[in-house]
């Protein structure tokens, strides 16, 4: 199991304790606290040492550790072969680069959309002026407006939609959602690279959704070759205008597809995976039968089962 140890300041550990309040576990001996999230188990010690272990410890640690804090990573023998770091140099954000991001992965209804955008150095300022920034801080309407404005510019991009039928089919074939995302990103990136031809770029940045090694494992499992100058960063849309642009284009397409599906199903399909979603599932089943979900939903989500409570 991968694990990382960082030595952190007292104030940071206090902040962490507050942050993980809802995830606390029994405090082991000698520890200040222990918490468990989906990505990692976090144990903070009085010495200031904090241990992150589990599925994606570096992802969890990245929330607290500044880049180049030089973590003492205990690598497995396999990881030792790849001493390469996938964290982009800060200079990447101010030069020509590709950014890739997706939308719809946590939503029960609707497709997954993935966009890759190439932003040239001289386009960065103009895109910022257009309001391109972290789409999580933008309303749905703003996202659609900015996407429209942005596409007026001469930017190279690729936008892919994985519709629900195909998604459910791949899931049945044994693909994880992570694999679907990896393959879609890889495809979108390749489309853009083909478009830009010999135009120079400094790197390709993916808004990190899994470990780089896992990403490359998925790519290899489909006999695809690893690309050069690949970088992975969590919350990349807050640093890279290309990733921010990609997140807006992907999100705008997702919203558009949700409108289209809502019209097709004759009812508003809610975003997310809340109780409102469960009620809508029940309404669809009552109206058209279970098979209708295959056309508009990611049916393996727990919501499909939960909706049984709402059936007539």
Binding site for Mn ion (CB under 5 A): 101, 207
Q: Which is nearer to Mn ion, 36 or 235 (CB)?
A: 235
Q: Using CA of residue 246, residue 265, residue 290, residue 173, what is the dihedral sign?
A: negative
Q: Which is nearer to Mn ion, 175 or 254 (CB)?
A: 254
302 phi/psi in degrees, rounded to 5: -60, -20
Question: Closest separation between CB of residue 160 and Mn ion, Å?
Answer: 14
Question: Closest separation between CB of residue 12 and Mn ion, Å?
Answer: 25
Q: What is the rounded CA–CA span in Å between residue 275 and residue 302?
A: 11
**Residue reference for tokens 């940071």:** 12
Question: Closest separation between CB of residue 103 and Mn ion, Å?
Answer: 8
158 phi/psi in degrees, rounded to 5: -135, 135
Question: Closest separation between CB of residue 255 and Mn ion, Å?
Answer: 15
Q: Which is nearer to Mn ion, 237 or 278 (CB)?
A: 237
The residues, ordered by sequence, that sit 6+ positions from 74 with a Cβ below 8 Å of its Cβ are 2, 3, 4, 5
Whether residue 219 contacts residue 182, with contact meaning beta carbons closer than 8 Å, is answered with yes
Question: Closest separation between CB of residue 105 and Mn ion, Å?
Answer: 8
Q: Which is nearer to Mn ion, 207 or 257 (CB)?
A: 207
Q: Which is nearer to Mn ion, 41 or 203 (CB)?
A: 203
Instruction: For residue 305, give both structure tokens.
Output: 């089962």
Instruction: List alpha helices for 108-229, DSSP H.
Output: 124-129, 140-150, 164-172, 177-196, 212-221
Q: Which residue sits closest to Mn ion, CB atoms considered?
A: 207
- Cα distances (angstroms) measured from residue 3 to each of 29, 72, 112, 209: 19, 9, 31, 18
- DSSP letter at 232 equals E
Whether residue 102 contacts residue 209, with contact meaning beta carbons closer than 8 Å, is answered with yes
Whether residue 73 contacts residue 176, with contact meaning beta carbons closer than 8 Å, is answered with no
Q: Which is nearer to Mn ion, 33 or 232 (CB)?
A: 232
Question: Closest separation between CB of residue 277 and Mn ion, Å?
Answer: 21
Q: Which is nearer to Mn ion, 32 or 132 (CB)?
A: 132
Question: Closest separation between CB of residue 98 and Mn ion, Å?
Answer: 15
Whether residue 4 contacts residue 52, with contact meaning beta carbons closer than 8 Å, is answered with yes
């Amino acid at each position: 199991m991968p694990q990382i140890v960082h030595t952190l300041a007292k104030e940071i550990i206090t902040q962490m304790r507050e942050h993980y309040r809802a995830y606390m576990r029994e405090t082991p001996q000698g520890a200040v606290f222990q918490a468990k999230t989906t990505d990692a188990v976090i144990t903070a010690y009085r010495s200031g040492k904090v241990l992150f272990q589990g599925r994606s410890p570096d992802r969890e640690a990245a929330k607290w550790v500044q880049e180049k804090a030089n973590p003492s990573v205990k690598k497995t023998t396999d990881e030792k072969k790849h001493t390469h770091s996938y964290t982009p140099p800060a200079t990447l954000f101010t030069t020509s680069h590709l950014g890739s991001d997706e939308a719809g992965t946590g939503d029960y209804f609707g497709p997954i959309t993935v966009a890759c955008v190439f932003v040239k150095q001289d386009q960065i300022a103009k895109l910022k002026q257009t309001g391109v920034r972290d789409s999580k801080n933008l309303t749905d309407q703003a996202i659609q407006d900015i996407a429209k404005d942005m596409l007026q510019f001469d930017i190279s991009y690729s936008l892919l939609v994985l519709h629900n039928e195909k998604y459910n089919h791949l899931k049945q074939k044994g693909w994880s959602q992570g694999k679907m995302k990896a393959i879609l990103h890889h495809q979108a990136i390749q489309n853009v690279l083909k478009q830009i031809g010999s135009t120079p770029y400094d790197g390709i940045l993916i808004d990190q959704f899994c470990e780089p090694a896992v990403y490359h494992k998925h790519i290899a499992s489909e006999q695809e070759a690893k690309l050069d100058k690949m970088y992975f960063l969590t919350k990349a849309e807050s640093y890279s205008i290309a990733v921010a642009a990609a997140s807006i284009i992907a999100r705008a397409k997702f919203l558009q597809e949700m409108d289209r599906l809502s019209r097709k199903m004759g009812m508003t399909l809610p975003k997310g995976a809340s109780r409102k979603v469960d009620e809508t599932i029940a309404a669809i089943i009552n109206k058209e039968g279970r098979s209708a979900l295959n056309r508009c939903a990611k049916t393996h989500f727990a919501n499909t089962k939960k909706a049984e409570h709402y059936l007539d």
